[in-house]
């Protein structure tokens, strides 16, 4: 068994996520408490007791998902379950880097808190929207986005073959959706996000994030972490801080990241955090690999049993 960890990003959040883990495991509670001290946010209260609307604000979503993922990692580490490679979707790349000891616990909490705030506060004025398009190939989606005339829209997340998320101005995205339906898209799903993420419209947020990244230590991961930006592992020649800053204005290449992991021999993918979106993407690429999701006490205990056997 060759294990790869996957870490979800924004859009996978649900109110109350991780509450059963928090109530059962002292290690999980400790992670939430430590993260709350570092961030100055009561993350347990935010995640378990706020509202869907409050949790879905970018400045709150990112840190809440990160902390849930880090808490689950704590239990997996205690049980001796290790990954040989990992990747994350957008925000999830920070969880992956924390797992691979590239960024310390304290620094990853600080920088993800800042990233969420910057992506929220420096979203330009206007109405923005993201949507997942199923059933069209990459080239067709790219072509339709280029021909939209009513507003800015571009591909933002290359999720898996036949599924791309688009991002941009509400009018532009709506026009693209109509054109994609006409072109034979099987399904289109609006996403629970609040800005034109992974597009040039977040340039100011990217520049400010670059400044914030100078305040933390980042080193080469101890196991391969596949970058969203080009679907290759971080290496010695990478300027990691520059890559992380540019991350918010470049498309996420998750599909190719998963393919890289598969070619590297990963045969067991474990998604750590809310939802099961990423294992769903992997399944679309290769139905023969083992897929595990950990987002509750029940799924955690089952995963430990499977991964230790």
Q: What is the pLDDT of residues 110-146, one digit of tens each?
A: 999 999 999 999 988 889 999 999 999 999 999 999 9
Which pLDDT score is estimated for 209?
98
> 236 and 262, same structural domain?
yes
> 99 and 77, same structural domain?
yes
Is the residue at 104 inside a domain? yes
Which pLDDT score is estimated for 86?
98
In the DSSP assignment, the letter for residue 296 is: S
> 176 and 70, same structural domain?
no
194 is catalytic: no
> 281 and 224, same structural domain?
yes
Alpha-carbon span 116 to 5, nearest angstrom: 23
Residue tagged active-site, from 56, 69, 90, 165: 90
- For residue 116 the two structure tokens come to 């969420």
Backbone φ and ψ of 23, nearest 5°: -75, -25
Is the residue at 30 inside a domain? yes
> 210 and 152, same structural domain?
no
Q: Is the pTM of this model over 0.85?
A: yes
Domain span at 293: 3-123+200-308
90 is catalytic: yes
Is the residue at 195 inside a domain? no
Is the residue at 51 inside a domain? yes
Residue tagged active-site, from 39, 95, 198, 255: 198
Number of domains the chain is built from: 2
Nearest to 307 by CA among 74, 79, 28: 79
pLDDT at position 195 over 90: no
Q: What is the pLDDT of residues 25-80, one digit of tens each?
A: 999 999 999 999 999 999 999 999 999 999 999 999 999 999 999 999 999 999 99
Instruction: Indicate the residue among 145, 164, 190 that finishes a domain.
Output: 190
Which pLDDT score is estimated for 309?
64
Q: Contact, 240 vs 283, CB < 8 A?
A: no
């Amino acid at each position: 068994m060759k294990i790869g960890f996957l870490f979800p990003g924004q859009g996978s959040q649900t109110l109350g996520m991780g509450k059963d883990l928090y109530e059962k495991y002292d290690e999980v509670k400790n992670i939430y408490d430590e993260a709350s001290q570092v961030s100055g946010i009561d993350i347990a209260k935010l995640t378990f007791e706020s509202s869907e609307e409050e949790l879905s604000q970018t400045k709150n979503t990112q840190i809440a998902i990160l902390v849930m993922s880090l808490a689950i990692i704590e239990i997996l580490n205690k049980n001796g379950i290790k990954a040989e490679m990992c990747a994350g979707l957008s925000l999830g790349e920070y969880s992956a880097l924390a797992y691979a000891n590239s960024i310390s616990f304290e620094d990853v909490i600080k920088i993800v808190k800042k990233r969420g705030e910057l992506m929220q506060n420096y979203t330009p004025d206007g109405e923005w929207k993201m949507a997942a398009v199923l059933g069209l190939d990459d080239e067709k989606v790219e072509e339709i986005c280029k021909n939209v005339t009513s507003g800015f829209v571009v591909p933002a997340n290359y999720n898996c073959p036949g599924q791309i998320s688009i991002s941009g101005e509400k009018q532009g995205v709506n026009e693209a959706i109509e054109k994609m339906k006409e072109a034979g898209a099987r399904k289109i799903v609006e996403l629970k996000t609040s800005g034109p993420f992974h597009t040039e419209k977040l340039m100011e947020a990217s520049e400010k994030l670059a400044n914030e990244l100078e305040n933390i230590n980042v080193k080469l991961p101890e196991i391969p972490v596949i970058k969203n930006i080009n679907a290759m592992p971080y290496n010695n020649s990478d300027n990691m801080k520059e890559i992380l800053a540019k991350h918010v204005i470049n498309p996420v290449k998750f599909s190719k990241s998963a393919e890289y992991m598969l070619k590297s021999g990963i045969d067991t993918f474990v998604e750590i955090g809310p939802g099961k979106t990423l294992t769903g993407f992997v399944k679309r690429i290769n139905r023969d690999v083992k897929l595990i999701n950990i987002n509750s006490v029940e799924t955690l205990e089952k995963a430990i049993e499977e991964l230790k056997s």
